[in-house]
Structure 1
Amino acid sequence: MNEIIHPSRMKLLEATLGLIREQGYAATTVEDICRRAGVSKGSFFHHFKSKEELILGAVEHWNQFTTEVFEQAPYQSLADPRDRILGYVDFRMAILDFEVPEFTCLLGTLVQETYQSHPSIREACDFGMSSHIGRLAADLEQARAHYAPDADWTAESVGYFIQAVLQGAFIFAKAKLAAETARENLRHLRRYLEMILPAEC
């Protein structure tokens, strides 16, 4: 059962998700977040002791939100684990139809800026990304057992590779202010997965 979040706290969390993906950690101030959320600084400090505590709350909120999104995605209903993996990539490509800040990853954005300066944020981002990879790896392991039982790769290593391609694709989307390069990267990723998980004749 989901915990009920106070409306002002939820506004602050949602504002943080948007601002961090738009302009990064360092460029986002508490004043920016309060303005976007439509709440006072007093309300901010009622819910959070610091910007870092808010960011940690936003990471947790992001992880819960994205877990629900992917658990409810259409590809999850597919019976074949290979189809689910390829469906996951297709789903990520479909998300690229949104504006750049809407499809980029909060965790990837944060960890690039804070991995040395804010270890607690780095650890929270690592946990979120690794947990997502763990869920992918479950399908990858089933697919490997059926389609490539003699393969010398592990499900976990391919899960990390998938996420590395995604994070790199997001960086290029930001650099070019467009999704087409990112979309082509995911098409190549799909071809690679089809190659290492060859369909039965």
Structure 2
Amino acid sequence: MQTQDTRHESKTKILDAALDVFRAKGYAATRIEDICAEAGLTKGSFFHHFKSKEELAIEAAGHWGEYACALFAAAPYQALPDPVDRLLAYVDFRKSAMQGELLQFTCFGGTLVQEVYLSHPQIRDACTVTFDRHGTGLAKDIAAAIDKYGSDGTWTPDSLALHMQAVIQGALILAKAKQDPEAGAQCLVHLRRYIEALFASARRAAS
């Protein structure tokens, strides 16, 4: 996939617009005209780059994944030497993002997949790729934490990474349902406590 540096500027504008409009309106309610208006471009420009709204949504999922990977790779928690501290700071980072307008922090993939998981399987699968890619990064830190502190053997890095993603996506849904970012943020407070509890005894013994 092309990076933003090499991708045609108008195509990047359309993809950026798609992230906002699809999150605001949902897939079915979004028209190509809405995307073009947000991007400040014509339908001719749209069809120069995309054959259909579905093709745009599939590529927009990858565009979202690129953005998310860059965001998390540059986050301050990545510099922490202890893997449990990184996991806790990751949750803090996600919680700190739950401020302001809901549109600014809700997940593109999570928003679309709830709507299209049966009707548009190719969009669903493109969103799943972004979840899996992010989960793999979480699982690496979880595995490092297990290597350092151990576990009770009843769970795996992949299962905890999936649980963390489920809580975060659920928190975003609740924030939208209640129109209150704090409702979602409180879910992540409990997620942080849960992760702390998993490693608490071993960390105390090691200190």
Amino acid at match of 2:204: E
**Cα drift, residue 51 of structure 1:** 0.4
After TM superposition, the runs of 4+ consecutive aligned structure 1 residues lying more than 4 A away are none
Structure 2 residue aligned with 1:170, among 169, 172, 190?
172
**Could you say which residue in structure 1 is the equivalent of 2:30?**
28
Question: Paired residue for 1:76, among 56, 75, 78?
Answer: 78
Q: Distance in 1 between matches of 2:115 and 2:42?
A: 27
* Contact 1:21–1:102 (8 Å) recurs in 2: no
The residue identity in structure 2 corresponding to 1:20 is: F
Specify the alignment match of 1:8 in structure 2: 10
Contact kept, 8 Å, 2:135 with 2:158, in 1: the verdict is yes
| Equivalent residue in structure 1 for 2:95, among 75, 78, 93 | 93
Find the counterpart in structure 2 of residue 179 from structure 1: 181
Q: Judge conservation of contact 2:151–2:198 (CA < 8 Å) in 1.
A: no
Aligned length: 201
TM-score (norm 1): 0.96
Q: What percentage of aligned pairs have identical amino acids?
A: 49
Q: Is the 8 A contact 1:81 1:139 kept in 2?
A: yes
Alignment of 1:20-59 (within 5 A): 20-59=22-61
1:23 Cα deviation after fit? 1.5
Q: Distance in 2 between matches of 1:186 and 1:164?
A: 11
- Measured against aligned partners, the alpha-carbon deviations of 1:148-201 in whole angstroms (never above 9, x if no partner) come to 343321010000000100111111111111111101100000000000121324
Which ranges of structure 2 fall in alignment gaps of 5 or more residues? none
Contact 1:20 1:28 in 2 (8 A): yes
Task: Assess if the C-alpha contact under 8 Å between 1:144 and 1:151 holds in 2.
Answer: no
Q: Report the counterpart of residue 122 of structure 1 in structure 2.
A: 124
SS at match of 1:63: helix
Superposed displacement of residue 21, structure 1: 1.2
Instruction: Determine if contact 1:138/1:155 at 8 Å carries over to the other structure.
Output: yes
SS of 2:204's equivalent in the other structure is coil
Structure 2: how far apart are the matches of 1:98 and 1:200? Answer: 37
Q: How far apart are residue 137 of structure 1 and its match?
A: 0.2
**Any conservation in 1 of the 2:143–2:157 contact (CA below 8 Å)?**
yes
Q: CA deviation at 1:81?
A: 0.5
Q: CA RMSD in A?
A: 1.2
- Given the two structures, how large is their TM-score scaled by the length of structure 2? 0.94
Q: Find the aligned partners of 2:42 and 2:151 in 1 and give their Cα distance.
A: 58
CA–CA separation in structure 1 for the residues paired with 2:173 and 2:33? 27
2:197 matches 1:200: no
